[in-house]
Amino acid sequence: MTNIVELYVKDTFVKELTNGYPLILKDAVEIPEVSIAEGTIVRLVNKQGQYIATGYYGVQNKGIGWVLTRKEKSQIDVKFFAKKIREAAEKRADFYASEDTTAFRIFNGEGDGIGGLTIDIFNGFYMVSWYSEGIYSFREDVYTALAEVVNARGVYEKKRFNVNGQYVEQDDYVSGEVGEFPLIIQENGMNFAVDLNDGAMTGIFLDQRNVRKALRDNYSLDKTVLNTFSYTGAFSVAAALGGAVSTTSVDLAKRSLPKTIEQFAVNGIDYESQDIKVMNVFDYFSYAARHGLQFDVVVLDPPSFARTKKMTFSTAKDYPKLLKDAIAITADKGVIIASTNNASFNMKKFKTFIDKAFKDSNKRYKILEQHQLPEDFRTPHNYPEFDYLKVVFIQVM
């Protein structure tokens, strides 16, 4: 990349960018009249022309790009990317050495120094996800660098960005061995079936690894467990392996049924002994309340935003209502695992949702434990807003 554009940083944003803030906000810089191509290297300077940082132009969510380095002489090339990936992989040495976990994140975007790029490993196969057209323009250099650092069985990619107003979300084989899917990975000794070539998702959310382990090890034995927005049933598998009396998995997507059956099967669990329902979670809450159903453990991990024919749901607005519905069918001394990956609010705000729901339900509660992103999902120091995951284990009193 030889095309470099100089951008002036507004005075109010200079200190933050100098101190390590990784995202280039649209409001932070003076945008020139001419359009800037995605993937253009940008040199950030203050009004006096003094160097601040080097980044790339790539529109993603709230930003127009990411800082790559604060060393003025750094070249953004294969060597640069190889160094970043190598440093990230070395920080995951314990994961690479693990005998019972074969899927984890080896590169977490801005937390490892390149916003807009994540790399996950699934039993020797690598999945590279690109979150802007800008970072995708560095594709060849990144793949050359990755090949220098890791010995991959095969490489797949997911493109997750806007092109000409259309949201692109597709996956492709890149190199190496062509995977046979489903691929079986291990996570803390549990088996999960994943598909790296089947749309936006893989079948497992790696950021919930510690939460699944806690559910299996500490909250499932002899319990009835309800898993809402269950996707492929990973929490249900963890509960069943932890000794749950029964699991109920509820998700509106029709494909959740065969996918959940598959996850039970690869763990040697008789899926017919488990309850799998394809229906709207809110309708299920009504059904459960009408029939007097009570659960010892309820898992709430909704999408940040969802729309059905009958309703729209937003975690930022509707989580207290969702939690109230869950409280109504949770047994006394039961536990609700409340989770959200909505990055627009922090843990403190999330806890106000919890407090409101319990007050409105005239119930008391006790927070037993809480989780945010696991150790392989590194985030920038001093900027907690990039730690999007919030999970709270709540006991209903």
How many Å separate Cα 267 from the centre of its chain? 24
Give the C-alpha separation, 325 to 142, whole Å: 46
CATH of domain 78-181: 3.30.750.80
* Per-residue pLDDT at 65: 98
Strand 224-228 vs strand 246-251: parallel, antiparallel, or unpaired? parallel
Angle between helices 78-91 and 139-149 (to 10 degrees): 50
Strand partners, 276: 249
Per-residue pLDDT tens digits for 64-102: 999 999 999 999 999 999 999 999 999 999 999 999 999
pTM of the model: 0.96
User: Cβ atoms within 10 A of the Cβ of 394, count?
Assistant: 26
* Per-residue pLDDT at 1: 47
Pick the CATH number of 4-69 from 3.30.1510.10, 2.160.20.60, 2.30.130.10, 3.50.50.60: 2.30.130.10
Per-residue pLDDT tens digits for 188-202: 999 999 999 987 789
* Per-residue pLDDT at 61: 81
Angle between helices 256-265 and 234-241 (to 10 degrees): 30
* Per-residue pLDDT at 189: 98
Would you call 197 exposed, middle or buried from its count of C-beta atoms within 10 A (0-12, 13-18, 19+)?
A: middle
* Per-residue pLDDT at 166: 61
Q: Could you tell me which CATH class the domain 205-396 is placed in? A: alpha beta
Report CA-CA distances (Å) from 162 to 25, 136, 168, 196. 17, 12, 6, 21
The residue ranges of every structural domain in the chain are 4-69, 78-181, 205-396
Task: Pick out the chain residues at pLDDT < 50.
Answer: 1
Alpha helices, DSSP H, located in the chain: 11-18, 78-91, 93-97, 133-136, 139-149, 209-214, 234-241, 256-265, 281-290, 315-328, 347-360
Give the C-alpha separation, 65 to 132, whole Å: 9
Helix H or strand E encompassing 331 = strand 330-340
Report CA-CA distances (Å) from 102 to 64, 155, 183, 346. 34, 15, 11, 30
* Per-residue pLDDT at 169: 63
Residues 6+ apart with CB under 8 A from 301: 208, 228, 229, 235, 337, 339, 340
* H helices, E strands: number in the chain: 11, 22
The vertex-242 CA angle with 240 and 125, nearest 5°, equals 80
